[in-house]
Amino acid sequence: MAKARGLVAVNFEECKGCKLCVDACPVDVLHLAKSFNTHGYSPAEYDGEGCTGCGICYYACPEPGAITVFKRWEEAQEAYICHNNNVQSRLSLQDSVRGLALCDSCGQEVILSDFLNLRFAE
């Protein structure tokens, strides 16, 4: 089995529950949640482990911003730039299913699917 070095984060409110990503994932680590978002869709949800970072779900998804894939999560979490203290920090993963982490510098929760508002060192 391919090494789990990636991390996938679904923006539950952007997801329309079409299931294309679930069917496309070659290692079967996505499913539809049993709950609904505010639009009435059951969003895709990560099993919480096993993502290889292949990116296939990202390309399968028709909704811009619904899926973020961190291809090399361990490198990304060390390169995080804290937007409060404007320093390079580290992300501590809190909830891989919901895509939540804590910034080691400021202690605030970071929503990993909010990728456009996250910064990382080169």
| Residues at the contact surface with ligand SF4, assessed by CB under 6 A | 6, 8, 10, 15-21, 24-25, 27, 29-30, 43-44, 51-57, 60-61, 63, 66-67, 69
Residue with smaller CB distance to ligand SF4, 31 or 83: 31
Return the structure tokens found at 32.
Answer: 């539809």
- Of 43 and 99, nearer to ligand SF4 (C-beta) is 43
Please state, in angstroms and rounded to a whole number, the distance separating the CA atoms of residues 76 and 16: 27
Residue 46 CB, shortest distance to ligand SF4, in Å, is 7
Q: Which helix (H) or strand (E) holds 74?
A: helix 73-78
Q: In the complex with ligand SF4, which residue's Cβ is closer, 54 or 100?
A: 54
Write out the H or E segment, with its range, that includes residue 8.
strand 7-10
